[in-house]
Amino acid sequence: MNTDPTQQTATGWWTEAAIYQIYPRSFADSNGDGIGDLPGITARLDHLVELGVDAVWLSPFYPSPQADAGYDVADYRDVDPLFGTLADADKLIAEARSRGLRVIVDLVPNHTSSAHRWFQEALAAAPGSAQRSRYIFRDGLGPAGEQPPNDWQSVFGGPAWTRTVDPDGQPGQWYLHLFDTGQPDLNWDNPEVHEEFLGVLRFWLDRGVDGFRVDVAHGLIKQANLPDWQEPQEILSGNEIDKPRPPMWDQEGVHEVYRQWRQVLDSYPGERVLVAEAWVEPAERLARYVRPDEMHQAFNFEYLLAAWTAPAQYAVITRSLEATDSVGAPTTWVLSNHDVVRHASRLGLAIGGGRPNGIGIGDPQPDAALGLRRARAATLLMLALPGSAYLFQGEELGLPEHTTMPDEARQDPTWARSGHTQRGRDGCRVPIPWEADAPSYGFGPTDASWLPQPPSWAEYALDRQRDVPGSTYELYSAALRLRRAHGLGRGTLEWLSSGDETLVFRNGDLTVLTNFGDAPVPLPPNAEVLATSAPLNDDTIPTDVTVWLR
């Protein structure tokens, strides 16, 4: 028997699952207030079964002032009235499970909301108190403490420190927030913080969830003494394995936290999982989060960010597989989520151009047709890869980014904090269309929608695509069905060719070909086409098309 744990390969539902991200605010609104909610999700679960996914991941629905759309959690053990009640969460979990869908919830351990009881207690308590030591409070620099304790910048722009006001009205200490001012960072050097989160894990595990997506998993531990960091703030930490790491990201101590959490999950029946949202490069460094006694999976953002060219896709796929193989973990794949420009729009921008943080009026606009064509090819390529795949709500409709949203409608704190230079993430978070001719395209019973839906979205509605041959929805559901039937998620990739124009690989009994080049390429003789991302021309595969062949 092989006793080296890194040489064993993980098994379990999650290693090959297709996992669908629900952004609760924008999925389905049951009561017409313009904000999606838990009963809305429960009522639409059959859609996900029909689509053919194995699990859902829900972005946060906990009580929150919504300074960062719920990633500012005021109470980890309840549901915000905006989204429903704990009973609604229980019902959603039960209804999902009765349909064979697993449920992953979001856990936000790097920071709480400033409205969290702990932070309010900290503000009311004295410097050096036990209450303050749950967060990262420091005296300011300068004669009157008027300058922040170090030069760190917030990921959303502006300084990562905010000065507090003491109960007597005098300026007080500063607190660290790597994100919005409403998101104070917790102090993970404090054992009480560890205890608290072990309790939160148990709370949701006891309610039957199948796992947690762990927000900013690479951020919890900060380098001692909080040294200055001259580089611009990037949530992505470094791209060379031995380059100095930024003092706020990917510190060694985070791994001990996940080892402890893993033990808690393993003490529950069923296969409960931890998924790291860790913006860590390169792949070898990210693989350290999914060593056998740590998390189960990590999002593969290097894949999401790779350029749409054959060499870039070949390189990232190969590197990703090698890195996770080295620790016996499955690879994951993802093209869209609630933090990035949707891939149907991103891939319609010039290849190699800058990656915008949001797109708005006055910005270069993506080529929508090209973007959708490439997005469909990219998705069909992704769904043929071994490992698990994450899908973001609406991508099964080919939904583009809202790239002309009026700036007054924007809600992402990035827009204000960056001094109106980064438009941020609202464009991918718009409530999704279900019925072309209904109010709010069937998102809810009224016209209300917390972000405006573009007038052109009727054509993307589910009811315009269901049972329509060639629609993006039918492409996704067929691909997910075939992926399951052919065991692609648990398969093995074997490259057949990797040139500058095309990539060809085998996974099980399937051959997958993507044409990235300018010219059509011939369909291999005697090939049976099981799926294609766009119509073929006679016996050739046009540009920006993926085919699954047997």
- Contacts to Ca ion by CB under 5 A: 29, 31, 33, 35, 37
Alpha-carbon span 226 to 54, nearest angstrom: 42
Q: How far is the CB of 275 from ligand NOJ (least distance, A)?
A: 12
**Within 13 Å, how many C-alpha atoms sit on residue 112's CB side?**
25
Strand boundaries in 272-381, DSSP class E: 273-276, 297-298, 332-334
Task: Write the burial class of residue 421 (CB in 10 Å: 0-12 exposed, 13-18 middle, 19+ buried).
Answer: exposed
| Three-class secondary structure of residue 259 per DSSP | helix
Q: How far is the CB of 103 from Ca ion (least distance, A)?
A: 20
Question: Residue 68 binds what, of ligand NOJ, Ca ion, none (CB under 5 to 8 Å, by partner type)?
Answer: ligand NOJ
Question: Residue 216 binds what, of Ca ion, ligand NOJ, none (CB under 5 to 8 Å, by partner type)?
Answer: ligand NOJ
Residue closer to ligand NOJ (CB basis): 71 or 258: 71
The pair of three-digit structure tokens given for residue 334, joined into one six-digit string: 């993802």
Q: Which member of 16, 54, 68, 88 binds ligand NOJ (CB under 6 A)? A: 68
Q: How far is the CB of 31 from Ca ion (least distance, A)?
A: 5
Listed in sequence order, the residues at least 6 apart from 525 whose beta carbon sits closer than 8 Å to its beta carbon are none
Question: Residue 189 binds what, of Ca ion, ligand NOJ, none (CB under 5 to 8 Å, by partner type)?
Answer: none
Listed in sequence order, the residues at least 6 apart from 475 whose beta carbon sits closer than 8 Å to its beta carbon are 376, 379, 380, 531, 533
Report yes or no: 114 and 184 within 8 Å, Cβ to Cβ.
yes
Residue (of 295, 92, 116) closest to 213 by Cα position: 295
Residue closer to Ca ion (CB basis): 148 or 431: 431
Q: Which residues are known to be catalytic?
A: 215, 277
Residue closer to Ca ion (CB basis): 33 or 501: 33
Positions in 501-540 near ligand NOJ (CB under 6 A): none
Alpha-carbon span 291 to 275, nearest angstrom: 12
Question: Residue 29 binds what, of ligand NOJ, Ca ion, none (CB under 5 to 8 Å, by partner type)?
Answer: Ca ion
Query: For residue 544, how far is the Cα from the chain centroid?
Result: 25
Indicate whether 323 belongs to the interface with ligand NOJ (CB under 6 A): no
The pair of three-digit structure tokens given for residue 120, joined into one six-digit string: 């309010």
Positions in 169-198 near ligand NOJ (CB under 6 A): 179
Positions in 92-151 near ligand NOJ (CB under 6 A): 108
Residue closer to ligand NOJ (CB basis): 37 or 215: 215
Indicate whether 216 belongs to the interface with ligand NOJ (CB under 6 A): yes
Question: Residue 108 binds what, of ligand NOJ, Ca ion, none (CB under 5 to 8 Å, by partner type)?
Answer: ligand NOJ
Report yes or no: 438 and 445 within 8 Å, Cβ to Cβ.
no
Indicate whether 301 belongs to the interface with ligand NOJ (CB under 6 A): no
Q: What angle do CA 214, 216, 220 make, to 5 degrees?
A: 100
Residue closer to ligand NOJ (CB basis): 68 or 401: 68
Residue closer to Ca ion (CB basis): 29 or 339: 29
Q: Which member of 16, 185, 339, 401 binds ligand NOJ (CB under 6 A)? A: 339
Residue (of 242, 247, 262, 250) closest to 217 by Cα position: 250
Residue closer to ligand NOJ (CB basis): 75 or 90: 75
Report yes or no: 271 and 230 within 8 Å, Cβ to Cβ.
no
Pairing status of strand 510-515 against strand 545-549: antiparallel
Question: Residue 314 binds what, of Ca ion, ligand NOJ, none (CB under 5 to 8 Å, by partner type)?
Answer: none
Question: Residue 218 binds what, of Ca ion, ligand NOJ, none (CB under 5 to 8 Å, by partner type)?
Answer: none
Alpha-carbon span 174 to 145, nearest angstrom: 9
Q: Residue count at the site for ligand NOJ (CB under 6 A)? A: 9
Q: Which member of 62, 71, 441, 457 binds ligand NOJ (CB under 6 A)? A: 71
Buried b (16+ CB within 10 A) or exposed e, 174-197: bbbbbbbbbbbbbbbeeeebbebb
Q: How far is the CB of 296 from ligand NOJ (least distance, A)?
A: 18
Residues lying near ligand NOJ in the complex (CB under 6 A) are found at: 68, 71, 108, 179, 215-216, 277, 338-339
